[in-house]
Amino acid sequence: MCPRCLAHRHAVKLVRSTLADPEREAVRDGSVSASGLRLTVETRGDETVVRLAGALDIASAPVAARTVAAADTREGPLVLDLSELSFMDSSGYRCLLRLRRDHGERVVFVPPPESVLRLFRQVGLAQHLGLDG
Protein backbone atom coordinates (compact mmCIF):
# COMPACT_ATOMS: atom_id res chain seq x y z
CA MET A 1 0.00 0.00 0.00
CA CYS A 2 1.36 3.44 -0.86
CA PRO A 3 2.37 5.88 1.93
CA ARG A 4 -0.46 8.25 1.03
CA CYS A 5 -3.07 5.50 1.40
CA LEU A 6 -1.55 4.46 4.72
CA ALA A 7 -1.68 8.04 6.00
CA HIS A 8 -5.31 8.36 4.93
CA ARG A 9 -6.23 5.06 6.57
CA HIS A 10 -4.51 6.16 9.80
CA ALA A 11 -6.35 9.51 9.77
CA VAL A 12 -9.71 7.80 9.22
CA LYS A 13 -9.01 5.48 12.16
CA LEU A 14 -8.27 8.51 14.35
CA VAL A 15 -11.48 10.23 13.31
CA ARG A 16 -13.52 7.09 13.97
CA SER A 17 -11.82 6.47 17.31
CA THR A 18 -12.82 8.01 20.61
CA LEU A 19 -10.83 11.10 19.60
CA ALA A 20 -13.79 12.06 17.45
CA ASP A 21 -16.05 12.16 20.52
CA PRO A 22 -15.51 15.43 22.43
CA GLU A 23 -17.43 14.21 25.47
CA ARG A 24 -14.94 11.37 25.97
CA GLU A 25 -11.92 13.58 25.44
CA ALA A 26 -12.93 16.41 27.76
CA VAL A 27 -10.12 17.39 30.07
CA ARG A 28 -10.68 18.62 33.63
CA ASP A 29 -10.11 22.27 32.77
CA GLY A 30 -13.03 22.29 30.29
CA SER A 31 -10.93 21.78 27.19
CA VAL A 32 -10.98 19.08 24.52
CA SER A 33 -7.91 17.49 22.91
CA ALA A 34 -7.71 15.55 19.67
CA SER A 35 -4.74 14.60 17.53
CA GLY A 36 -2.56 17.64 18.20
CA LEU A 37 -5.41 20.14 18.62
CA ARG A 38 -6.58 21.53 21.92
CA LEU A 39 -9.91 23.36 22.12
CA THR A 40 -10.94 25.47 25.08
CA VAL A 41 -14.45 26.87 25.48
CA GLU A 42 -15.11 29.97 27.60
CA THR A 43 -18.07 32.26 28.15
CA ARG A 44 -17.43 36.01 28.34
CA GLY A 45 -20.61 37.97 28.93
CA ASP A 46 -22.94 37.15 26.04
CA GLU A 47 -20.24 35.69 23.77
CA THR A 48 -18.86 32.17 23.57
CA VAL A 49 -15.14 31.89 22.86
CA VAL A 50 -13.62 28.71 21.42
CA ARG A 51 -9.80 28.77 21.40
CA LEU A 52 -8.01 26.42 19.00
CA ALA A 53 -4.36 25.61 19.71
CA GLY A 54 -2.19 23.28 17.66
CA ALA A 55 -2.97 21.60 14.34
CA LEU A 56 -6.38 21.70 12.66
CA ASP A 57 -6.16 18.84 10.18
CA ILE A 58 -8.05 15.82 8.82
CA ALA A 59 -7.92 14.04 12.18
CA SER A 60 -8.96 16.96 14.37
CA ALA A 61 -11.37 18.96 12.15
CA PRO A 62 -14.43 16.77 12.95
CA VAL A 63 -13.76 17.17 16.67
CA ALA A 64 -13.41 20.93 16.25
CA ALA A 65 -16.70 21.16 14.33
CA ARG A 66 -18.57 19.13 16.96
CA THR A 67 -17.06 21.06 19.84
CA VAL A 68 -18.05 24.40 18.28
CA ALA A 69 -21.57 23.11 17.59
CA ALA A 70 -21.91 21.91 21.19
CA ALA A 71 -20.59 25.22 22.53
CA ASP A 72 -22.97 27.30 20.42
CA THR A 73 -25.88 27.44 22.86
CA ARG A 74 -26.23 31.21 23.21
CA GLU A 75 -27.57 33.96 20.98
CA GLY A 76 -24.46 36.16 21.27
CA PRO A 77 -21.33 36.15 19.13
CA LEU A 78 -19.37 32.95 18.65
CA VAL A 79 -15.67 33.83 18.72
CA LEU A 80 -13.19 31.36 17.23
CA ASP A 81 -9.73 32.27 18.49
CA LEU A 82 -7.19 30.99 15.96
CA SER A 83 -4.24 32.87 17.50
CA GLU A 84 -2.57 29.67 18.76
CA LEU A 85 -3.10 27.64 15.60
CA SER A 86 0.20 26.25 14.33
CA PHE A 87 -0.87 24.21 11.29
CA MET A 88 -3.90 23.73 9.07
CA ASP A 89 -4.55 21.54 6.04
CA SER A 90 -7.45 21.63 3.57
CA SER A 91 -9.70 19.79 6.03
CA GLY A 92 -9.17 22.63 8.48
CA TYR A 93 -10.00 25.20 5.78
CA ARG A 94 -13.18 23.29 4.97
CA CYS A 95 -14.10 23.13 8.66
CA LEU A 96 -13.77 26.91 9.09
CA LEU A 97 -15.75 27.63 5.91
CA ARG A 98 -18.55 25.32 7.05
CA LEU A 99 -18.64 26.98 10.46
CA ARG A 100 -18.99 30.36 8.71
CA ARG A 101 -21.74 28.96 6.48
CA ASP A 102 -23.64 27.29 9.33
CA HIS A 103 -23.37 30.09 11.90
CA GLY A 104 -23.22 33.09 9.57
CA GLU A 105 -22.03 36.49 10.70
CA ARG A 106 -22.33 35.50 14.37
CA VAL A 107 -18.95 33.82 14.00
CA VAL A 108 -16.04 36.17 14.64
CA PHE A 109 -12.54 34.92 13.91
CA VAL A 110 -9.49 36.04 15.89
CA PRO A 111 -6.61 35.97 13.37
CA PRO A 112 -4.09 33.13 13.42
CA PRO A 113 -0.31 33.74 13.57
CA GLU A 114 1.16 35.52 10.55
CA SER A 115 2.59 32.29 9.09
CA VAL A 116 -0.88 30.71 8.96
CA LEU A 117 -2.60 33.97 7.96
CA ARG A 118 -0.28 34.26 4.95
CA LEU A 119 -1.60 30.91 3.70
CA PHE A 120 -5.18 32.04 4.38
CA ARG A 121 -4.54 35.01 2.09
CA GLN A 122 -2.93 32.89 -0.63
CA VAL A 123 -5.92 30.53 -0.88
CA GLY A 124 -8.53 33.28 -0.44
CA LEU A 125 -9.74 32.06 2.95
CA ALA A 126 -8.89 35.32 4.76
CA GLN A 127 -11.44 37.21 2.67
CA HIS A 128 -14.22 34.67 3.35
CA LEU A 129 -13.55 34.69 7.09
CA GLY A 130 -13.24 38.46 7.40
CA LEU A 131 -9.53 38.35 8.25
CA ASP A 132 -8.15 40.37 5.36
CA GLY A 133 -8.19 43.57 7.40
CATH number, domain of 12, equals: 3.30.750.24
3-class DSSP state of 4: helix
What predicted TM-score, i.e. pTM, was given to this entire model?
Answer: 0.75
What letter represents residue 73's amino acid? T
Question: Which structural domain range is residue 123 located in?
Answer: 3-129
- C-alpha to C-alpha distance for 15 and 74, rounded to whole angstroms: 27
Split into its structural domains, the chain has a count of 1
**CA separation for the pair 49, 51 (Å, rounded):** 6
> How do residues 92-128 score in pLDDT, each as one tens digit?
999 999 999 998 889 999 999 998 889 889 988 888 8
**Cβ within 8 Å of residue 76, ≥6 positions away:** 45, 46, 47, 48, 106
Residue 79, strand partner residues: 49, 108
List, for residues 6-33, the tens digit of each pLDDT value.
444 544 444 443 334 444 444 445 677 7
